[in-house]
Amino acid sequence: MTTQPPRAQAARGRTPVVSALFGAVFALAVALRAALCVVNAAANDDHMPPIYTIAQTGRLPDVHDCFECYQPKLFYVVGAGLLRALRLGEGVGAIHAIEWLNFLLGVWTLWVVLLFTRTLPFPPAQRLVGFALAALNPYLVAAHGQASNDAAVILFGAGCLYQLRLFLARPDESPRSLALAAACALLAGITKGSGLVLIIGMGLLLAARLASAPARRERVVDVLLFAAAFGLVVPFFGGYLHNVLVYGHPFVTNMPRDPLPDFFHETYPARPGITSIMNSYFTFYYAMLVSRPMINLSVTSAPYHQTSFWTLLYGTTHCLNYYQWPPSWAAPTQAMVRLARAIFILALVPTALLLFGALEVLSRLARALRRNGASALLEPESASLVFAGGFVAFLILYSLRHRDFASVKALYLYPGLLAFLALFHAGYALLRANPRLRACADAAIAALCALYAADVGSIILRLARR
Could you tell me if 346 and 444 are in contact, meaning their C-beta atoms sit under 8 angstroms apart? yes
Radius of gyration of the chain (CA): 22
Q: Quick one: pLDDT at residue 408?
A: 96
Q: Whole-angstrom Cα distance, residue 385 to residue 212?
A: 19
Q: Quick one: pLDDT at residue 9?
A: 43
Could you tell me if 321 and 455 are in contact, meaning their C-beta atoms sit under 8 angstroms apart? yes
Note whether residue 258 is domain-resident: no
Cα dihedral sign, 387-121-104-96: negative
Note whether residue 161 is domain-resident: yes
Note whether residue 274 is domain-resident: no
Tally of structural domains, the chain = 1
Note whether residue 286 is domain-resident: no
Note whether residue 335 is domain-resident: no
Domain of 403 in residue numbering reads as 6-251+347-464
Note whether residue 198 is domain-resident: yes
Q: Quick one: pLDDT at residue 212?
A: 82
Note whether residue 49 is domain-resident: yes
Q: Whole-angstrom Cα distance, residue 452 to residue 166?
A: 30
Q: What is the pLDDT along the chain (466 residues), one digit of tens a residue?
A: 344 444 444 444 468 899 999 999 999 999 999 999 999 999 999 999 999 999 999 999 999 999 999 999 999 999 999 999 999 999 999 999 999 999 999 999 999 999 999 999 999 999 999 999 999 999 999 999 999 999 999 999 999 999 999 999 887 667 899 999 999 999 999 999 999 999 999 999 999 998 886 657 788 899 999 999 999 999 999 999 999 999 999 999 988 899 999 999 999 988 889 999 999 999 999 999 999 999 987 666 678 999 999 999 999 999 999 999 999 999 989 999 999 999 999 999 999 999 999 999 999 999 999 998 888 999 999 999 999 999 999 999 999 999 999 999 999 999 999 999 999 999 999 998 899 999 999 999 999 999 999 999 999 999 999 8
Note whether residue 111 is domain-resident: yes
